[in-house]
């Protein structure tokens, strides 16, 4: 059992969720409430990571973050090491790759808040921020929660993009999914089996716990 | 706290209306769906900004497109009751009411309970909206709108989502509540009866234009004004007092012009009410008729005759201190040779007065709120 790889995966998933939570609320709310001409294009861009093979996505990220790219050069100059083959590089890739998982359900959540309820909040004297905290989020939270759970579980299971971003440095970029792949390559079927089962258990537990929690809160609300 | 509104727009619907509502006055904006009346209400609340508009309350400018002033809804002290109430479903009735209070309000819970009692909903403070009936939800919505201590109270079709029996009760409650209100109230409705029962003034909105504005009695007697809403809506309001509930199911009322017998009207003896009598239900006779099934014969005299382009005329009949309207054919008016000043008898079938055409009379206002 490769505990280092497992903790790295959990750390990556946790940070990805932490970064995408505010992003999903702001962007999901914006897409849910606003009508504008390029909305379809924005939604398509958000959905893109869902349909592209991770290898394609990873390839572009590698190009964008590499030492010779402007972003990569800037990172190198600022932090003294390159972005690819590091945990930060993985995190940036993971955040971008999870945008669709984070924004889409949050958008659906905010779309479920009736327009007149939002207007009533404003007419009750609530500023947009207060309306978000007191009225919209309490009503949209199932969507936001689903977004975060999907993001977490999906990050744990991501393989292709991490492989492309150089995911084989233990403790830095070697996540549990990569570790399992390495074990299989090395004919360590028992080790791969244990780690696979662990991953299944963690993912199942996370999703099931969320669903049960939201069902309970949902019952209390209605 | 006078509310003054001017709005002009081309799209999405044409608007060209201006009106005002005085403190404590209830102005009804009456029109069909799509006439723009709700858009006007949304303009006051700040939920919509027409191309050219100006909204002021008590001299305070909420919106002035020419001067570039446009306060967001949460900066306007406005109370809005939405058509479907738009209560916050995750909050209890009391929490809904508290949500509209200033955060500096002392003892918000006590204030919420006071407001819920004011709208006849004591004891429901801790229920969620889903556990309340439509009428109860409407009361919470009214309490919430008042909790904002609004400079203008806006009611957007507040009775359209409840059944008829509940609506009749809510009419009476709004009439009673008005004694406690000092701000201008704007009611948007497509229901002419509702406007006549509740409003002091009426503005008829048609295709975004206020085609007629005046006192309720004036507008409701004006065939031109009511053309858009249907000329059959012309009616007069007759004040009366409940005198007796008879065993046969009729209620005897006393109006200034004499007794009226109507199908059972809820309310204890002594209750002051106003009865809406439709002009097309009134028959006129030169002499007091004999052997007639109609129970109500009011003696009066012709105060005026309004002739339009159609086959009918509106006869204003002075009965005691009040006036009722009769819509009869021009041919009948000619045959009777009716002239202003002539003595006539106005005949009203008891059964022609619908239950929801009777409302409690407003009580004298008392300072509160």
Percent pLDDT > 90 in chain A is 54
Token digits for B282?
């009134």
Mean pLDDT over the full length of chain B? 92
Q: What is the arithmetic mean of pLDDT over B267-274?
A: 92
**Which of A116-125, B119-128, B306-315 tops mean pLDDT?**
A116-125
CA angle B8–B10–B13, rounded 5-degree value? 95
User: What local confidence, expressed as pLDDT, does residue A222 receive?
Assistant: 56
- Chain A interface includes B350 (CB < 8 A): no
pLDDT at B70 over 70: yes
Q: B365 falls in which pLDDT band (50, 70, 90)?
A: very low
ipTM rounded to 2 decimals: 0.87
- What is the rounded CA–CA span in Å between residue B211 and residue B109? 44
Share of chain B above pLDDT 70, in %: 98
- Mean pLDDT for A88-97 is 91
Give the number of domains in chain A: 1
Q: B12 CB near a chain A CB, below 8 Å?
A: no
> Smallest CA–CA separation between B116 and chain A, in Å?
16
Residues sharing a CB contact under 8 Å with residue B202, sequence separation 6 or more, in sequence order: B27, B28, B30, B195, B196, B212, B213, B214, B215, B216, B219, B220
Domains contained in chain B, CATH given? 3-233 (3.40.50.300), 237-360 (2.40.50.100)
Q: Which of A137, A118, A116 is nearest to A127 (CA)?
A: A118
Q: Which two tokens stand for residue B108?
A: 């918000």
Q: Which of B83, B22, B13 is nearest to B48 (CA)?
A: B13
Would strands B250-255 and B69-70 be described as parallel, antiparallel, or unpaired? unpaired
Residue B18 is classified by DSSP as E
Instruction: Tell me the pairing of strands B272-278 and B235-245.
Output: antiparallel
Q: Tens of pLDDT along B340-359?
A: 999 999 999 998 898 889 98
Q: What is the pLDDT of residues A26-69, one digit of tens each?
A: 999 999 999 999 999 999 998 888 888 888 888 888 888 887 88
Q: Do B78 and A119 touch (CB under 8 A)?
A: no
- Report, as an integer, the average pLDDT of A186-191: 92
By three-state DSSP, how is residue B54 classified?
A: strand
B163 with B128: CB under 8 angstroms? no
Asked if pLDDT for residue B84 goes beyond 90, the answer is: yes
Best B39, B89, B108, B150 member to test A by mutation, with max A CBs in 10 Å, is B89
The pLDDT of residue A52 is 87
Helix (H, G, I), strand (E, B) or coil at A146: helix
pLDDT digits (tens, 9 = 90+) for B138-189: 999 999 999 999 999 999 999 998 898 889 889 989 998 998 899 999 999 9
Q: How confident is the model at residue B364 (pLDDT cuts 50, 70, 90)?
A: low
Smallest Cβ distance to A123: which of B80, B83, B102?
Answer: B80
Residue B158 CA to residue B135 CA, distance in Å, equals 10
- Interatomic CA distance for residues A143 and A88, integer angstroms: 28
Q: Using an 8 Å CB-CB cutoff, list chain B residues near A119.
A: 45, 47, 73, 80, 82, 86
Q: What is the pLDDT, as a whole number, of residue A196?
A: 93
What's the pLDDT score for residue B367? 44
Instruction: Read off the pLDDT band of B368 (50, 70, 90).
Output: very low
Q: What does the alpha-carbon distance between residue B331 and residue B171 come to, in Å, rounded to a whole number?
A: 38
Mean pLDDT of B191-220: 94
- Report d(CA A176, CA B104) in Å as an integer: 53
Q: Kindly report the CATH number assigned to the domain that includes residue A191.
A: 1.10.3720.10
Q: Which of residues 115-144 of A touch B (CB under 8 A)?
A: 116-117, 119-128, 131, 134-135, 138-139
Residue B138 to residue B122: CA distance in whole angstroms:
14
> By the 8 A CB rule, do B190 and B34 touch?
no
Domain hosting A166: range is 3-34+42-221
Residue B366, pLDDT above cutoff 80: no
Per-residue pLDDT, averaged over B121-139, amounts to 94
Query: B-chain residues within 8 Å CB-CB of A222?
Result: 130
B271 CB burial (10 A radius; 0-12, 13-18, 19+): middle
Residue A164 has pLDDT above 90, yes or no: no
Chain A's closest residue to B147, CA to CA, is A124
């Amino acid at each position: 059992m490769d505990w280092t790889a497992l903790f790295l995966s959990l750390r990556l998933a946790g940070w990805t969720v932490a970064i995408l939570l505010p992003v999903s609320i702001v962007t999901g709310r914006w897409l849910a409430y606003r009508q504008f001409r390029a909305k379809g294009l924005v939604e398509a861009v958000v959905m893109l990571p869902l349909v592209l093979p991770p290898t394609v996505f990873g390839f572009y990220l590698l190009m964008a973050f590499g030492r010779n790219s402007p972003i990569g050069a800037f990172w190198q100059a600022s932090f003294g090491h390159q972005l690819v083959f590091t945990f930060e590089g993985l995190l940036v890739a993971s955040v971008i790759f999870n945008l669709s998982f984070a924004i889409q359900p949050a958008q659906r959540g905010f779309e479920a808040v009736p327009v007149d309820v939002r207007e009533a909040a404003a007419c009750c004297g609530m500023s947009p921020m207060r309306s978000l905290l007191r009225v919209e989020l309490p009503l949209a939270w199932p969507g936001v929660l689903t977004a975060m759970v999907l993001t977490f579980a999906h990050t744990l299971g991501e393989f292709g993009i991490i492989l492309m971003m150089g995911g084989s440095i233990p403790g830095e970029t070697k996540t549990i999914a990569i570790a399992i792949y390495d074990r299989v390559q090395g004919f360590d079927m028992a080790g791969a089996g244990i780690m696979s089962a662990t991953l299944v258990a963690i993912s199942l537990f996370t999703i099931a716990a969320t669903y049960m929690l939201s069902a309970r809160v949902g019952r209390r609300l209605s | 706290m006078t509310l003054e509104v001017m709005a002009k727009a081309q799209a999405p619907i044409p608007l060209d209306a201006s009106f005002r509502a005085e403190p404590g006055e209830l102005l009804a904006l009456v029109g069909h769906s799509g006439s723009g009346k709700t858009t006007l209400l949304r303009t006051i609340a700040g939920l919509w900004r027409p191309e050219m508009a100006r909204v002021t309350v008590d001299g305070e400018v909420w919106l002035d497109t020419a001067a570039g002033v446009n306060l967001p809804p949460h900066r306007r002290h406005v109370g809005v009751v939405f058509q479907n109430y738009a209560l916050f479903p995750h909050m209890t009735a009391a929490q809904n009411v508290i949500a509209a209070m200033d955060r500096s309000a002392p003892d918000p819970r006590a204030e919420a309970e006071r407001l819920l009692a004011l709208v006849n909903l004591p004891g429901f403070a801790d229920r969620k909206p889903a556990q309340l009936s439509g009428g109860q939800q409407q009361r919470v919505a009214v309490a919430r709108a008042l909790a904002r201590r609004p400079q203008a109270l806006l009611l957007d079709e507040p009775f359209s989502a409840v059944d008829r029996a509940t609506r009749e009760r809510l009419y009476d409650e709004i009439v009673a509540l008005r004694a406690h209100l000092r701000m201008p109230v704007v009611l948007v409705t497509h229901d002419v009866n509702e406007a006549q029962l509740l409003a002091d003034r009426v503005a008829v909105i048609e295709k975004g234009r206020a085609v007629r504005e005046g006192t309720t009695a004036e507008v409701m007697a004006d065939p031109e004004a009511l053309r858009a809403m249907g000329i059959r809506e012309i009616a007069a309001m007759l004040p009366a007092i409940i005198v007796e509930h008879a065993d046969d199911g009729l209620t005897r009322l006393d109006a200034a012009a004499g007794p009226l017998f109507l199908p059972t009207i809820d309310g204890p003896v002594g209750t002051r009410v106003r009865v809406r009598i439709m002009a097309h239900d009134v028959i006129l006779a030169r002499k007091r008729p004999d052997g007639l099934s109609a129970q109500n014969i009011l003696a009066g005299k012709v105060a005026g005759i309004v002739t339009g382009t159609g086959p009918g005329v509106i006869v204003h009949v002075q009965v005691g201190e009040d006036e009722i309207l009769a819509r009869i054919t021009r041919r009948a008016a000619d045959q009777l040779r009716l002239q202003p000043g002539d003595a006539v008898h106005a005949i009203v079938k008891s059964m022609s007065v619908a239950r929801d055409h009777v409302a409690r009379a407003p009580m004298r206002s008392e300072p509160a709120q």
